[in-house]
């Protein structure tokens, strides 16, 4: 009888481990999807930043040159 009780305990632990494994698999899928979404968002933001930098650089190129400032000799 003690053997059967020990086997039942092991079986119960295995069942709990299987449930936990399934939970971890679902969590992993959710986290993977979240990482993918955040990666896409990051890439889109980097693209927007690059385009904004290009526009700022183009505007800076259109600015007239500032005259050289001379120091007062006194």
Q: What is the pLDDT of residue 44?
A: 98
**Cα separation of 46 and 54, whole Å?**
12
Please check the confidence at residue 71 and state whether its pLDDT lies above 80. Answer: no
**What's the average model confidence in pLDDT over 4-27?**
97
**What's the average model confidence in pLDDT over 7-18?**
97
**What's the average model confidence in pLDDT over 32-41?**
98
- Confidence at 73, pLDDT banded by 50, 70, 90: low
CA 3 to mean position of chain CA atoms: 50
pTM for the model: 0.66
């Amino acid at each position: 009888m003690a053997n059967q009780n020990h086997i039942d305990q092991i079986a119960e632990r295995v069942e709990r481990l299987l449930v936990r494994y399934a939970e971890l698999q679902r969590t992993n899928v959710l986290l993977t999807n979240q990482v993918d979404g955040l990666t896409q968002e990051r890439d889109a933001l980097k693209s927007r930043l690059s385009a904004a930098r290009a526009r700022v650089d183009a505007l800076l190129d259109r600015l007239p040159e500032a005259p050289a400032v001379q120091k007062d000799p006194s």
